[in-house]
Amino acid sequence: MAKEMTDLEKYYNKFNEEKRLDSRHGQVEFITSMKYIHKYLKDLPDAKILDVGAGTGKYSVALAKEGYDVTAVELVKYNLGILKSKNSSVKAYQGNAMNLKRFANETFDMTLVFGPMYHLYCFEDKLKALLEAKRVTKKNGVLLVAYCMNEYCVLTYAFKENHIHECLKENRLTEDFHSIAEAKDLYDYVRLEDINRLDEAAGLERIQIISPDGPADYMRPVLNAMDEETFQIFMKYHLSVCERQDLIGAGAHTLDILRNGK
């Protein structure tokens, strides 16, 4: 596990997480995710929020500025340093999504898990993270859990970037084209049935599941070339279809919204 985390830290030391959500395709994801965070915060007055895998604090700091009591946990020291440098009211700690022992049971009204599932490579580790998020969330509290999706990986990396033959030769795809990730790959990709199985094993009740970015990641050059008026129309379109079940799983990310009912 130590090597895996070292590789991840090396990656994020070079990857500009701060600017990712400022890009046009990143804005789609951020605006959409914030819409659904606010939707469920309406029913959670004076909510205490935990952001697990907070990165550089894009969500944490925004919510703290709105007056919420926000705590952030981030594995990567580099990202944590950027978060802390923003001098917000966010209480920020280094920590691992699979072990939130710093926090007592049922501490938070809402728990965000927007990064960890991307970098956990087996069902058991993902389940540990989900169970820890459940444990620290109050009964009837809300969890929002993000995943990277399999078809996006196959279409972009395997076909668009022309790695398909390499992937097949190295047995990195199953016969039905489900990606097989290892720690060295840094990212893991899932399908809806994988998410469903995790929810069932964790005993969590789904409220809804959405696509926070839809086709945005496939459309980076198109979005970047749009004038602001056209981009706002695209956002209106995306927000009108992001709950459509026939589109869930086709985007780069999926956001699973759950209630801690047990």
Task: Tell me what the mean pLDDT of segment 235-258 comes to.
Answer: 97
Q: Report the pLDDT value the prediction gives residue 110, as an integer from 0 to 100.
A: 98
The residue assigned the tokens 């078809």 is 151
pLDDT at 4 over 60: no
Q: How far is the C-alpha of 223 from the C-alpha of 231, rounded, in Å?
A: 7
Q: How far is the C-alpha of 34 from the C-alpha of 37, rounded, in Å?
A: 5
* Beta bridge partners of residue 258, listed in sequence order: 143, 206
Q: Report the pLDDT value the prediction gives residue 2, as an integer from 0 to 100.
A: 41
Q: How far is the C-alpha of 209 from the C-alpha of 248, rounded, in Å?
A: 8
pLDDT at 73 over 50: yes
Q: Report the pLDDT value the prediction gives residue 47, as an integer from 0 to 100.
A: 96
Q: Report the pLDDT value the prediction gives residue 1, as an integer from 0 to 100.
A: 39
Question: Strands across the sheet with 69-74, in order?
Answer: 91-94, 69-74, 48-52, 108-113, 137-148, 253-259, 205-210
Q: At what angle do helices 77-85 and 2-14 cross, to 10 degrees?
A: 50
The CA-based angle 23-27-31, given to 5 degrees, is 170
Please write the tens of the pLDDT for every residue from 219-243. Answer: 999 999 999 999 999 999 999 999 9
pTM over 0.85: yes
Which tokens go with 75? 């594995």
- pLDDT interval class at 22 (50, 70, 90): confident
Q: What percentage of the chain carries pLDDT values higher than 90?
A: 87
- pLDDT interval class at 154 (50, 70, 90): very high
pLDDT at 12 over 90: no
* Phi, psi (deg, nearest 5) at residue 219: -110, 25
